[in-house]
Amino acid sequence: MEDKLPFVFEKNTIVINSGIFLSSGTGHHPKRLISSYELIFIRSGTLSIAEEDEYFELNEGDYLILYPGRVHYGTRDFDKTLSFYWVNFDILEKADMSMEFHLERFGHSSRPTVIIDLFNMLQSNQESGYSYEPVKQMLFALIICEMTRPKQDDESIGQSIVWASRAQAFIRTHFSEQITRNSIAFSIGCSADYLGRIFQKVYHKKISDMIHDNRIKRAGELLTSSARSVSDIAEECGYLDIRSFRLQFKLRYGITPQQYRSRNTR
């Protein structure tokens, strides 16, 4: 009996290079003509790009395949929140394959967080100083496989609760900071659009409203337990604009912060 078993994976693609782009909010995608295919997957923000005379507006979770020998270029300056993964690859002569996937040139992924994890693994393998070629090629195959996954109409209830609970816990401990749906999603490793959707489903309110709820609750406690000024309390609770603080406070308590203090302080 042999000590080693042979595993053979047929493939018809080869990864040349890959990376991640993080926008600084300036410039736009350069005009380029490349000799390989390029897969772009949007992690956050918006990318406006054209190939020859076709124009694309790519948003979070969208992907696009650029073709070799065709000029592509940016049509607008980079979104300051833009980040995307890219992979240069070639397609070899077709091999005998037991499984074959057909990927639309442009589309939206049904599980963007899974694809982000795979891209991160691909980056880690490449940047480790010892890029293991079989792993690189298989990770790319998994990315393509995930992009062809049919969209599910019903979100997993259990998974939705997990992500929503993580976001809620993050809000409870960071509400005094300048947090947003996007920054929360990035911190817990989730797609912002997906998080916003399942958070609404689980808690029946928007993430922004939950942030305000936590801030105003804390403000009410400080108003009745200290003699600090309203503006100081507003700032400590995460409000840089006193007018916004007063508006959110009155929406929740029906009175101004000063009136709340007068009625609840003995």
Examine the pLDDT at 98 and tell me if it is beyond 50.
no
Mean pLDDT along residues 82-93: 87
Would you say 201 and 140 are in contact if contact means Cβ atoms under 8 Å apart?
Answer: no
Task: Among 40-44, 94-98, 138-142, name the one with the lowest average pLDDT.
Answer: 94-98
pLDDT on residue 11 = 63
pLDDT on residue 204 = 86
Q: Where are the domains of the chain?
A: 13-147, 157-204, 210-264
First-last CA distance in the chain:
86
Examine the pLDDT at 240 and tell me if it is beyond 70.
yes
- Classify 24 as helix, strand or coil: coil
pLDDT on residue 169 = 92
Bigger pLDDT: 9 vs 123: 123
pLDDT on residue 96 = 46
- Classify 214 as helix, strand or coil: helix
pLDDT on residue 125 = 82
Mean pLDDT along residues 29-56: 92
168-188 pLDDT, tens per residue?
A: 999 999 999 999 999 999 999
**CATH number assigned to the domain covering 13-147:** 2.60.120.280
Cβ atoms within 10 Å, residue 84: 25
Same fold, 13-147 and 210-264: no
Would you say 64 and 36 are in contact if contact means Cβ atoms under 8 Å apart?
Answer: no
Fold held by 210-264: Arc Repressor Mutant, subunit A (1.10.10)
